[in-house]
Amino acid sequence: MTYVNDVKVVLFVCLENRVASAPGKVLMTGGYLVLERPNAGTVLSTNARFYSIVKPIYDEVKPDSSDLACADVKLTSPQMSRETTYKLSLKHLTLDSVSQSDSRNPFVEYAVQYAVAAAYSRLDSSEKDALAKLLLLGLDITILGCNEFYSYRNQIEARGLPLTPQSLASLPPFTSITFNAEESGGQNSKPEVAKTGLGSSAAMTTAVVASLLHYLGVVNLSSVKYNDKDLDTVHMIAQTAHCIAQGKVGSGFDVSSAVYGSQRYVRFSPDVIASAQDAVKGAPLEEIIDGVLKAKWDHERTKFSLPPLMTLLLGEPGTGGSSTPSMVGAVKKWQKSDPETSMETWKKLSEGNSTLEMQLNTLSNLARMSFDIYKDVINNCSTQPPEKWLDVATEPSKSDIVKALLGAKDAMFKIRHLMRKMGEAAGIPIEPESQTRLLDSTMNIEGVLLAGVPGAGGFDAVFVVTLGDASDKVIKSWSSQNVLALLVREDPNGILLHNNDPRAN
């Protein structure tokens, strides 16, 4: 949207759509490798979304306002029963908390500062006056995360409910979050959210940046197309805010999928955000963000999502999750200490990842070419163990599909074997024995195509891809093994704009 001189016109345009959302992710292949260019990761975005609702706090700028240099910002997180208020300096773009509570949300704080700085850097001086007026009405930001981001296992067990997706579905949307008991009892430590590992910080940061940039008129997200420049702007700001808030530069697949949806991703060169790292040391924010927006972002993303009639399932084994940064540290240490073996393992892993990606792309193409034959094969294989899948291949067109299915399955076995090997060499449980047992038994269920540990692996939820209606069998089997099937599914969409508060739906 081009900025209009009268702030009321801007508000009129923006109020309709002031809710943006961004999805959580599952990194199916490329864990660790995707940290280094040019290795790729395939990432599926999910139906779990973070919503950010932005509105003004006041109806009009108070004429007697003595403090025209600062805007009020209110950040509400109903699921955490938290409300924090800030003063945003319109001159320095600093954000100072004026709340009594010491609860901070660095992801959202950087998202607000950087989005406002992006607005200033993109506008000429007359437009900047209108922007200041809009900001002086205050920013009232509410953040909501879908239940799928959080673990409700304890609540389900405490209520004596069965460990099933139906029990999860009975929870009201945007239920209050459970904090990890051990942490809340710990000395001086803030309670840690019990989460499922879907990339809450990336989805939250992206939703806040998207809603703010749209509200401030920097981008127009009402008509997004896959390659839209506006999405690129959201991506650059969200990625920078996420890195700075996290204090580390990951591969960025989580922010990229939060913005653009399911994809094949190759990371950006870390020096594109070097200027923002300098900002922390005191350089003017507007200039820094201008630099970030003009930097040569060299990440690559290609269209990728699951072929039709395949379902992504996640199973929470209840073993408590793992810390990604410490696992990454151990793998890096191993790479340094044994460059030869590690390079060899990574080479083979990269081949396995490419094969799996290629087989899935082949299946998508075969489905496009002749959907009826594809549907027939998938439905038949969904009720058979894999050793019987070849029996389904009664004609050449069917046998191409079955070959690709078996090729995908084999590639997944190879990837798992190498991930285990990497874990053993690095001294960390990338695919711990308990997960191996669960994955092996799951792979034996009829109609299961793939099963593995997503992302960095460890004790987080495992993922499975099933054919046709086979997911019901997996859910039943998991329930009997004390594994909770989550309600998470693949949804290839990235950022979405909504007309209403999702709690009203």
Ligand X SMILES: Nc1ncnc2c1ncn2[C@@H]1O[C@H](COP(=O)(O)OP(=O)(O)OP(=O)(O)O)[C@@H](O)[C@H]1O
Ligand Y SMILES: C[C@@](O)(CCOP(=O)(O)O)CC(=O)O
Nearest-approach distance from CB 204 to ligand X, in angstroms = 5
Residue 452 near ligand Y by CB under 6 A: no
Q: From CA 451, how far away is CA 441, in angstroms rounded?
A: 10
The mark string for 323-362 relative to ligand Y (x by CB under 6 A, - otherwise) is -x---x----------------------------------
Residue in this structure with the two tokens 């300098």, named with its chain if needed: 278
Listed ranges 245-253, 304-312, 407-415, 470-478: which one lies at the site for ligand Y (CB under 6 A): 245-253
Which positions from 94 through 133 interact with ligand X, judged by CB under 6 A? 105, 107
Reading the block at residue 416, the tokens are 């798992």
* 243 contributes a contact to ligand Y by CB under 6 A: no
Q: Choosing among ligand Y, ligand X, none, which partner's interface includes residue 31 (Cβ < 5 to 8 Å by kind)?
A: ligand Y
Q: Which one-letter amino acid corresponds to residue 245? A: A
Considering only 190-198, 224-232, 335-343, 474-482, which stretch makes contact with ligand X by CB under 6 A? 190-198
Handedness of CA 63, 66, 69, 71 (dihedral sign): negative
H/E stretch holding 367: helix 339-369
Distance CA 96, CA 46 (A): 34
**Using the rule CB under 6 A, which residue among 4, 57, 80, 330 binds ligand X?**
80
The residue from 31, 199, 217, 307 that contacts ligand X (CB under 6 A) is 199
C-beta of residue 83 within 8 angstroms of C-beta of residue 65:
no
Site track 131-170 with ligand X (rule: CB under 6 A), x = hit: ------------x-x-------------------------
By the rule CB under 6 A, 217 interacts with ligand Y: no
352 binds, among ligand X, ligand Y, none (CB under 5 to 8 A by kind): none
Q: Which of 201, 251, 275, 335 binds ligand X (CB under 6 A)?
A: 201
Residues 7-66 touching ligand Y, rule: CB under 6 A, are: 27, 31-32, 34-35
471 binds ligand X (CB under 6 A): no
Q: Decide which of ligand Y, ligand X, none touches 77; Cβ closer than 5 to 8 Å per partner kind.
A: ligand X
Largest alpha-carbon pair distance within the chain? Answer: 81
Which of 49, 55, 122, 195 contacts ligand X by CB under 6 A? 195
**Binder among 156, 204, 331, 449 for ligand X (CB under 6 A):** 204
Closest distance to ligand Y from the beta carbon of 9 (Å): 42
- Round to whole Å and give the CA distance between 225 and 229: 9
Contact call for residue 205 and ligand Y (CB under 6 A):
no
Name the residue among 407, 471, 481 with its Cα closest to residue 437. Answer: 481
d(CA 10, CA 173): 32
Q: How many residues bind ligand X, per CB under 6 A? A: 16
Least Cα distance to 289 among 302, 268, 272, 301 occurs for 272
In sequence order, which residues have a C-beta less than 8 Å from that of residue 337 and are 6 or more positions away? none
**Nearer residue to ligand Y within complex by CB, 43 or 118:** 43
Cis-peptide, bond into residue 38, ω within 30° of zero: yes
Residue 325, both tokens: 């940064």
Query: Which residues lie below 8 Å from residue 336, measured CB to CB, with a gap of 6+?
Result: none
Judged by CB, which is closer to ligand Y: 35, or 40?
Answer: 35
Confirm or reject binding of residue 200 to ligand X (CB under 6 A): yes
Question: CA nearest 121: which of 245, 290, 312?
Answer: 290
Specify the residue, 78 or 407, whose C-beta has the smaller distance to ligand X: 78
Measure the CA–CA gap between 136 and 153, rounded to whole angstroms: 43
Pick the closest to residue 301 from 259, 333, 244, 341 (CA basis): 259
Of the candidate spans 62-70, 272-280, 454-462, 483-491, the one that interacts with ligand Y by CB under 6 A turns out to be: 454-462
The beta-strand segments (E) located in 356-447 are none
Select 35 or 70, whichever has its Cβ closest to ligand Y: 35
Q: d(Cα 477, Cα 326) in Å, to the nearest integer?
A: 32
Total count of residues recorded for the chain: 505
Contact positions vs ligand X (CB under 6 A): 77, 79-80, 105, 107, 143, 145, 193, 195, 197-202, 204
Contact positions vs ligand Y (CB under 6 A): 27, 31-32, 34-35, 197, 250-251, 253, 324, 328, 454-456
